[in-house]
């Protein structure tokens, strides 16, 4: 099987865009709907002794923000239509399994996070933490859906091209550390999210096998496009910081 025709390529692009839009809607709509519906009074904390020994490192927010864009990395790294479909299915399963857990067994990081009053919004790093705390509710923690999606994205990159996975998976490990050092998640949230992703990988992504000689990953343009997305995110955040954007004070 060789290169797809132009018509097939256009169809694949439309399908990828539609699947991505549906997944983003499912994630964002479900995530915030569950957070709104959750009874904070019923939420519990899940600290381990190790959580108390993990320092608060505001600088790690720069790694944490990769949580949000990591889920988009298959758009830039996975070229094979079949593998992209499996990746989309794995994401849908992770979201669909995590949301009921959030609703039925709410966990909160309110006692884990430092209060906004202790942070200095004149520093870009701490402004970023304040923005995170304002926009990302201290609920929907167990299992960590952010970690589950990031791990699945890294494993999908590995299936597409081992070299891409060799870069993506260490980045996922850094993200896993950062969600603890910005005090957004307990360690057990991270472990549960990783376990969820590995179970889904075994069922959905691992059985994938490439067919024919068609490339499964994009060339250098894909990773370069993903890098450009990260730069745009950081530049946008810095512009918002310099403009005095402070939604927590509204």
Residue 135 belongs to domain spanning: 6-249
In a domain, 91, yes or no: yes
Is 105 inside a domain boundary? yes
Does residue 56 form part of some domain? yes
Cα–Cα distance, 204 to 19 (Å, whole number): 16
Could you tell me if 181 and 56 are in contact, meaning their C-beta atoms sit under 8 angstroms apart? yes
Instruction: Round to whole Å and give the CA distance between 21 and 239.
Output: 26
Q: What are the structure tokens assigned to 114, written together?
A: 């430092």
Selection from 75, 227, 94, 226 nearest residue 160 by Cα: 75
Is the backbone of residue 3 left (phi > 0), alpha (psi -120 to 50) or beta? beta
1 found inside a domain: no
Tens digit of each residue's pLDDT (9 = 90 or more) over 128-180: 999 999 998 899 999 999 999 999 999 999 999 998 889 888 999 999 999 99
pTM of the model: 0.92
What's the total number of domains in the chain? 1
Q: Give 34-49 pLDDT, tens digit per residue.
A: 999 888 788 999 999 9
């Amino acid at each position: 099987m060789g290169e797809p025709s132009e018509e097939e390529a256009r169809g694949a692009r439309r399908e990828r865009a539609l699947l991505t839009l549906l997944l983003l809607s499912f994630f964002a709509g479900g995530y915030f709907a569950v957070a709104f519906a959750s009874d904070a009074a019923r939420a519990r904390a899940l600290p381990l002794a190790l959580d108390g020994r993990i320092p608060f490192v505001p600088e790690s927010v720069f790694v944490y923000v990769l949580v949000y864009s990591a889920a988009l990395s298959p758009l830039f790294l996975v070229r094979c239509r079949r593998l992209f479909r499996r990746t989309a299915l794995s994401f849908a399963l992770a979201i669909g399994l995590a949301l009921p857990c959030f609703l039925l067994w709410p966990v909160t990081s309110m006692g884990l996070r430092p209060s906004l009053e202790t942070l200095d919004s004149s520093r870009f790093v701490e402004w970023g933490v304040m923005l995170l705390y304002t926009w990302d509710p201290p609920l929907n923690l167990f299992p960590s859906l952010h970690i589950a999606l990031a791990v699945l994205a890294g494993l999908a990159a590995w299936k597409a091209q081992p070299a891409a996975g060799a870069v993506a998976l260490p980045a996922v490990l850094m993200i896993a550390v950062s969600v603890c050092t910005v005090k957004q998640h307990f360690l057990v949230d991270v472990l549960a999210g990783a376990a969820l992703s590995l179970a889904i990988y075994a069922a959905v992504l691992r059985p994938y096998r490439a067919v024919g000689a068609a490339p499964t990953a994009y060339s250098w343009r894909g990773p370069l496009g993903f890098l450009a997305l990260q730069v745009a995110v950081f530049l946008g955040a810095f512009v918002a910081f310099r403009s005095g954007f402070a939604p927590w004070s509204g």
